[in-house]
Structure 1
Amino acid sequence: MSEHKGPRYGLLGLGALGLVVMLGAFIAPQAEAESIAPDSTTLKDTVQALPDNNLQSLKELDGKPPARRTLNIQTWKTAEGAKVMFVEARELPMFNLRLTYAAGSSQDRSTPGIAVLTNAMLNEGVAGKNVGAIAEGFEGLGADFSNGAYRDMAVTSLRSLSAVDKREPALKLFAQVVGKPTFPADSLARIKNQLLAGFEYQKQNPGKLAGNELFKRLYGDHPYAHPSEGTAKSISPISIAQLKAFHAKAYAAGNAVIALVGDLSRSEAEAIAAQVSSALPKGPALPKIEQPVDPKAGETHIEFASKQTHLMLAQLGIERNDPDFVALTLGNSVLGGGGFGSRLMTEVREKRGLTYGVSSGFTPMQVPGPFMITLQTRAELSENTLKLVQDIVRDFLITGPTQKELDDAKRELSGSFPLSTASNADIVGQLGAIGFYDLPLTYLEDFMQQAQNVTVEQVKAAMNKHLSADKMVIVTAGPTVPQKPLPPPTDKPTQQPLGVPEH
């Protein structure tokens, strides 16, 4: 999921999806990491494709291998307790600023949706300026503000020219937006109405219904269980006073990571960090959320009139700092995270024509995030397709990847790795995640070094340690119809996949 900058719609191509899953190993924020999770959308990013800068980066490569970029990460703390991560980059007369707060929906507690609603309201008003004036203020300076809220985190970002006459007013406005939002009543009513309309739309979206049910089954009473945007029942009564109280604790300086990249000296970066930190509410970091409990395996079906059935399989995965993350990244790439050529895509789509696309992925978070497999298939083939997917997972856990499959996954990872630091926006996202998840400053370099040294046996052991084909929580959404046998595997399947998914 990318951050909000305005409405943008599109269908993510399968080739790009494979790249996103691989880049998820090291590109930071949960915005990307949650992209495989069907209910991680917020109010402002319901249906979005890859960020434009990522696609432009791919175009600019023009088939040439991208150069790796070594980052000299500097870090310190502000007087108010905010962690700062800084990389000097003088190539362009610009800088990127990203604040990452432990202010995602896992902090909603008894008020589901308050984290998303608070984040959406930040740039709706400050003293003397409404939402339109704020937008015009940034635009007039050639600056760009964006924000988003997810399960673990909320973010606010600024991109600006580094010249003092542009930088200083942009930072002043940014500090007002993140530190002293006014939460105007008319904006709150409008955004609530948008959310309520979204909830009505979700009733006609079998993928969203299945995703919500999956997280409920997977996480039970845990803070990850509810949809990030809340529900119609929980959103409606949220008051301005509640938003202000949530902002005061969750957007406190001690609960924030300040990431800076660009045309700045260390002293300029220190001054910017101090300015932003002092503008935030005063307060400490919020406590880490509790660990989830392993769910009971089983299948739940949601009846929905459709030609296709959505299939979702999941179990608890790993935390962001799990030592098996590298091996699991490579193993998942072979299983279903690498797009065409992965086991799932080869067996389910290419040999049998059962789906337009199937993917798997770990979403590592503060506490174990989900491992998920998602696909759509013809309703009359859904039961046997589900069994086929389970058999593929079971067989992969028994045999592990071949040496060639692992080598191919390493090569793909190595080729895509430079894209994780291709732009200042990419780097600032990396810094935010490194700071938020308390990863070592050498994390990116360490990750690639470890990836090149991982063996087939280590991948197999890690996948078996964290996954079991018989412990999956399964949710399906579609019609109940008589079932048919699957077509036999072939290099030229007669049953071609439906071109574009219904929902």
Structure 2
Amino acid sequence: MSRLFSCLAISLLAGSLLAGCATQSSQTDSRLSSLARLGDQAPERRSLDIQQWHTTSGSQVLFVQAPELPMFDIRLTFAAGSSQDGGQPGLASLTNALLDQGTASKTADEIALGFENLGARFGGGSYRDMGIVSLRSLSDPALSESALQLFTELLAEPAFRQADIQRLKNQLRAAFEQQQKDPGTLANQALFADLYGQHPYAHPSAGDAASIAGISRQQLRDFHQHFYTAGNVQIALVGDLDRARAEQVAERISRALPQGKTVAKVDTATPPGASQRHIDFDSSQTHILLAQLAVERGHPDYPALYLANQILGGSGFGSRLMEEVREKRGLTYGIYSMLSPMQTRGPFMISVQTRAELSQATLEFVQQLLREFIAQGPTAAELAASKREILGSFPLNAASNSGIVGQLGAISFYGLPLTWQDDFISEIEQLTLEQVNAAVKRHLDADALTIITLGPEVEQLPLPPAVERTDTPIGVRH
């Protein structure tokens, strides 16, 4: 199954794993007591020693040496996302997916077997802003040299054979047919269309059945030559390499690519006026999406909005939306808010799924909660709790090579300072209620929302009354 088809077989699962139940209560109490003693201690941070340079071909490189494991990760970030599709939605996505489907001398099966025999892993993906290509390899030169040779061959010489193109198109056609049965996907596509209008972010990254069918081999070759270039790539390297070896690897990759130039950023997105659209869909549930354009990556208000979003609905259980909509009124299994900054203004969005007959009441209630949050802001207790959660979990982003290389890719692509991680944590620590409230009021407006509801047309019921929780969470003692 191709990478592209796997990405399009969308099935978002939310869940948790419970394991390792204690068998002796005394041991359990001891462990819990140890955790309790941690209290509000600040988590240990890992400041990244990021080295930066440019190759002779003009590619920017960010490098973090991490010799703890005998391996390294490479992440190439090209300004080659679906925002560059032009009039052919899906072109960027299909180009990226075909990179490992064959070269002038190798088939897709030979490529996959080659990486497998070397203990290496190739990856890729196409999003609205960017196209990504990655390699993970053991650092032993006896293996890494061959892995790098295969990697650069894929980047420089993709064959774009007609048979491979048609095979992926057939897989995409099946995926698009499946999407028509997925209410969550349909609602999300409708939201972006209404939210972005004529902007390149409006169409699905993977395109649709009609647009994919019309993509030619020459268009794919032209897209690769124009966007997958040394002048349009950010190279991130993390792992068991010294500086000299990292420079050799980056230079090798950069020289293998067409030279090219940096692609201009996408145009600024213009916020649409408030709108509400219902899509009839045969289901017992109704999907509700509320959104508006917020901020771009690197905006100075992002830390404050991130913190506010975590309090409102970004942290799952314990967030205000989850408490009010699920716990007190039982309207949904889950409700979430998210903030997705991109090269231009990305969406702030609230997503909830509820019984069809309660959809209107739920929508109005969520709008009321958002309006109250914008007017009043979070409480001091919510702010303190969210800060603890963020400061405790954010260091995990630097706990693995893959996490670090992802951060480096974002830092370089969006032009963020090398100290971005430390700066972000420091800003979160120092934010006050007044600063958070001011940022929320500047960027969020409950009367300027783009709203999509997708579900059946049924007679509506009133909002059920709130029920205050009286149960005690498991493991909590009085």
TM-score > 0.5, shorter chain as reference = yes
Q: Give 1:486 deviation, angstroms.
A: 1.5
Q: 1:309 aligns with which of 279, 286, 303?
A: 286
2:165 equivalent to 1:185? no
Structure-1 separation of matches of 2:308 and 2:271: 22
Q: CA deviation at 1:237?
A: 1.4
Aligned partners of 1:121 and 1:311: how far apart in 2? 35
1:46 Cα offset (Å): 2.7
Give the drift of 1:338. Answer: 1.1
Q: Matched residues in 1 for 2:120 and 2:338: separation?
A: 35
Confirm or deny that 1:274 pairs with 2:265.
Answer: no
Deviates more, 1:446-455 or 1:288-297: 288-297
Say whether the 8 Å CA contact 2:5–2:175 is kept in structure 1. Answer: no
Instruction: Show the counterpart of 1:167.
Output: 144
Q: Which of 89, 114, 134 does residue 111 from structure 2 map onto?
A: 134
**Corresponding residue for 1:118?**
95
Partner-residue secondary structure (3-state), 1:124: coil
Q: Deviations over 1:432-481 (max 9, x none)?
A: 00000000000000000010000001111101111001100000000011
User: 2:5 touches 2:168 (CA, 8 Å); kept in 1?
Assistant: no
Instruction: Name the CA distance, whole Å, in 2 between partners of 1:321 and 1:417.
Output: 17
Question: How many Å apart are 1:203 and its aligned residue?
Answer: 1.5
Q: Provide the rounded CA distance (Å) in 1 between the counterparts of 2:225 and 2:3.
A: 22
Q: Name which of 426, 446, 449 aligns with 1:469.
A: 446
**Contact 1:302/1:477, CA 8 A, preserved across alignment:** yes
| Secondary structure in 2 matching 1:372 | strand
Residue identity over aligned pairs, in percent, reads 54
**Paired letter, 2:228:** Y
- Once the two structures are superposed, the pairs formed by residues 1-20 of structure 1 within 5 Å of their partners are 4=3
Which consecutive unaligned segments of at least 5 residues does structure 2 have? 19-30, 471-478
Matches within 5 A, 1:26-37: none
Identify if the C-alpha distance between structure 1 residues 293 and 6 changes in structure 2 by more than 3 Å, giving closer, same or farther. Answer: closer
Cα distance in 1 for residues equivalent to 2:243 and 2:123: 24
| 2:10 is the alignment partner of 1:46 | yes
**In the superposition, relative to structure 1, how do residues 262 and 116 fare at CA in structure 2: closer, same or farther (>3 Å)?**
same
The change in CA–CA distance for 1:371 and 1:382 in structure 2 (over 3 A counts) is same
State the SS of the aligned residue for 1:215. Answer: helix
Q: Tell me if the contact between 1:5 and 1:145 (Cα under 8 Å) persists in the aligned partners.
A: no
Gap change, CA 1:184 and 1:208, over 3 Å in 2: same
Distance 1:95 1:349 in 2: 43
Q: Deviations over 1:295-346 (max 9, x none)?
A: 0211100001110100000100110010000000110111111111111101
1:48 shift after superposition: 5.8
CA contact (8 A) 1:5 1:146 kept: no
1:421 and 2:406 matched: no
Q: Which residue of structure 1 lines up, in the alignment, with residue 321 of structure 2?
A: 344
For 2:434, the aligned partner's letter is E
Alignment of 1:23-422 (within 5 A): 42-43=7-8, 46-47=10-11, 67-422=44-399
Structure 2 counterpart of 1:207, one-letter code: G
* Root-mean-square deviation (Å): 2.0
SS of residue paired to 1:299: strand
Q: Which amino acid aligns with 2:330?
A: G
Shift of residue 4 of structure 1? 4.6
Aligned residue pairs, count:
449
Contact 2:5–2:172 (8 Å) recurs in 1: no
Question: Kindly tell me: are residues 196 and 368 of structure 1, through their superposed partners in 2, closer, same or farther at Cα, counting changes over 3 Å?
Answer: same
User: 1:5/1:383 Cα in 2 relative to 1: closer, same or farther (>3 Å)?
Assistant: closer
The 1-side partners of 2:274 and 2:157 are apart by 46
Give me the whole-angstrom Cα distance separating, in 1, the residues matched to 2:145 and 2:47.
29
In the alignment, the residues of structure 2 paired with residue 442 and residue 55 of structure 1 have an alpha-carbon distance, to the nearest angstrom, of 34
Task: State the Cα deviation string for residues 225-278 of structure 1 (Å, max 9, x = none).
Answer: 000011111110111111010001111111100000001010100000000001
**Is the Cα–Cα contact under 8 Å of residues 4 and 94 in structure 2 kept in the other structure?**
no
Distance 1:55 1:135, change over 3 A: farther
Structure-1 separation of matches of 2:166 and 2:4? 21
**Which of 1 and 2 has higher RCO (CA within 8 Å, sep 6+)?**
1
